[in-house]
Amino acid sequence: MHVWNGERLGRLSLRIDAAYCAALGTGVAIAGPAIAPTLALPAWLVVAIGVVVVVWAGLILLMLTKLRLRTSLRLVMVANLLASASVAAVSAAGAAVLVALAVLAIAIDIALFAASQAVALRRLRFAA
C-alpha cells in the first residue's frame, strides 16, 4: 500500500477543493433564483454566494502557486470549517426537508475537505 506524503496529499486536496468550489459555485449562481425561496434567502444573495465561491476556487489555485503549501492548507482548512458551519446553518433555515438534507450534505463535503487538509498538514509536520 502506497502512503501519500503531505506534499502530494495537500496539493491534491487543494486542487480537488478548487474544482469542487468552481462547480458548486457555478451551479449555485445559475440556480440561485430558483433555490432562493427554499433556502429562505434573497435570490441576489444566493447568486452572490455562488459567484464568491467561484472566485474562492480561483484564489485556492493562486495560493497553490504563490504561498507555501502549509500556509495554503491552513487558510483553506479554516475557510472550509467556517463555510461548513455556515452551510449547515442555512440548511437548518431551509423550508424543504429534501433541500435541507442536500445543503447539509454539501456542508459535510466541505468539512471533509478541511479534514483532508488537516491530514496533509499533519503529514507535512512530521516530514519536516
Residue-level pLDDT at 33 = 95
Q: How far is C-alpha 51 from the geometric centre of its chain's CA atoms?
A: 13
pLDDT tens per residue across span 66-84:
999 999 999 999 998 888 8
Which pTM was predicted?
A: 0.79
Q: How many Cβ atoms from other residues are within 10 Å of residue 121's Cβ? A: 19
Rounded to whole angstroms, what are the CA distances from 42 to 74, 94, 119?
32, 12, 37
